[in-house]
Amino acid sequence: MDLSSISPALVVASLMVASTPLLLAALGELVVEKAGVLNLGVEGMMITGAICGFAIAVETGSPPLGFLAAMAGGAALSMVFAVLTLVLLANQVATGLALTLFGLGLSSMLGQGYVGIKPPATARLDLGPLSDLPFLGRAVFSHDWMVYVSLGLTVAIWYVLTRTRAGLTLRAVGENHDAAHALGLKVVAIRFAAIGFGGAMAGLGGAYLSLVRVPQWTEGMTAGAGWIALAIVVFASWRADRVLLGAYLFGGVTVLQLNLQAAGSALPVEYLSMSPYVITILVLVIMSARRSRATAAPASLGKPFHATA
């Protein structure tokens, strides 16, 4: 194995790219779960976003339009989930699974004509002299604009959740929906908004995969990224700053194993490919074994809400 072929700056750069879809999807799910809703359909919304974004970007030649379309696609799918769970009071776990199964089928149907096409390139954000810095310029300041958007969103979501009235309201709904209802908070409306936001973010993450990270469309290309995003939220103990840490950690594992594959590691390829999943499981175990109150899930997470009076 030839480790010298691995350039640290390139590893960091590709780590950021590999982490961005996970970060986007996990941030969205964080907001959804903070509102007390467990949406297991992240994988389905991601892959729907991936094909919506890809198709629109190819048809219009504009990646920004593609990302917008991906958000719309993910959000549209999430609205199906919202109507089922919030209005028709369907089981959240089952509905989330249905969303994933449906999204996988829908996306490969929509993607029939797009296999093997190269999408228009997403523009690199020009950071001027920053990009010329040694190491950091290559590793951190030479990315497409979506990478920086995802980082900005992390800060924004952290701020809204912890510092604003809107965030407090959202957390209150996720903590105790009956009390929130008794105080006059619009539980269902708030959850609709949160689910829609989560769907848009998952769609964005999916489009980042198909437009930047890979970049092309293949069936089932999310390959469990949505599930890893769900795991990252647990890992992060429902905190935005730790979601960033979690996403970059998992992105790092992925990049590392890819680099080891390329460098010709003694370990068979299959074992390297399974490592991100194995490590995700291990991290989940460690996090759940040392649950304390500071790291507990929102108390109403996954519970149905039906206002009786």
Q: Which residues make up the interface to another protein (CB under 8 A)?
A: 40, 80, 83-84, 88-91, 93-95, 97-99, 101-109, 112, 165, 168-169, 171-172, 175-176, 178-180, 182-185, 219, 223-224, 227-228, 230-231, 234, 268, 270-271, 273-274, 277-278, 280-281, 284-285, 288-289, 291-293, 296, 298-299, 306, 308-309
* Nearer residue to another protein within complex by CB, 143 or 239: 239
Q: What is the closest distance, in whole angstroms, from the C-beta atom of residue 66 to another protein in the complex?
A: 21
* Nearer residue to another protein within complex by CB, 245 or 267: 267
Token digits of residue 144: 């497409």
Closest C-alpha to 78, from 195, 157, 244, 233: 195
CB of 18 closer than 8 Å to CB of 254:
yes
| Backbone conformation region of residue 128, classed left if phi is above 0, alpha if psi is from -120 to 50, else beta | left
Give the per-residue SS3 of 81-137. HHHHHHHCCCCHHHHHHHHHHHHHHHHHHHCHHHECCCCCCCCECCCHHHHHCCCHH
Q: What is the closest distance, in whole angstroms, from the C-beta atom of residue 68 to another protein in the complex?
A: 22
* Nearer residue to another protein within complex by CB, 266 or 289: 289
* Nearer residue to another protein within complex by CB, 169 or 265: 169
Question: How distant, in Å, are the alpha carbons of 41, 97, 164, 258 from that of 219?
Answer: 17, 18, 40, 20
Q: What is the closest distance, in whole angstroms, from the C-beta atom of residue 177 to another protein in the complex?
A: 10
Please state the φ and ψ torsions of residue 223, each to the nearest 5 degrees.
45, 50
Q: What is the closest distance, in whole angstroms, from the C-beta atom of residue 260 to another protein in the complex?
A: 15
* Nearer residue to another protein within complex by CB, 23 or 80: 80
* Nearer residue to another protein within complex by CB, 93 or 262: 93
CA dihedral 59, 63, 64, 67 (to 10 degrees): 90
Q: What is the closest distance, in whole angstroms, from the C-beta atom of residue 62 to another protein in the complex?
A: 25
Q: Count the Cβ atoms, other than its own, within 10 Å of residue 1.
A: 12
Length of the chain: 309
**HSE toward the beta carbon, residue 309, CA cutoff 13 A:** 2
Q: What is the closest distance, in whole angstroms, from the C-beta atom of residue 172 to another protein in the complex?
A: 5
CA distance 215 to 114: 12
Q: What is the closest distance, in whole angstroms, from the C-beta atom of residue 168 to another protein in the complex?
A: 6
CA distance 196 to 290: 32
CA distance 207 to 199: 12
Q: What is the closest distance, in whole angstroms, from the C-beta atom of residue 53 to another protein in the complex?
A: 18
* Nearer residue to another protein within complex by CB, 92 or 142: 92
* Nearer residue to another protein within complex by CB, 47 or 146: 47
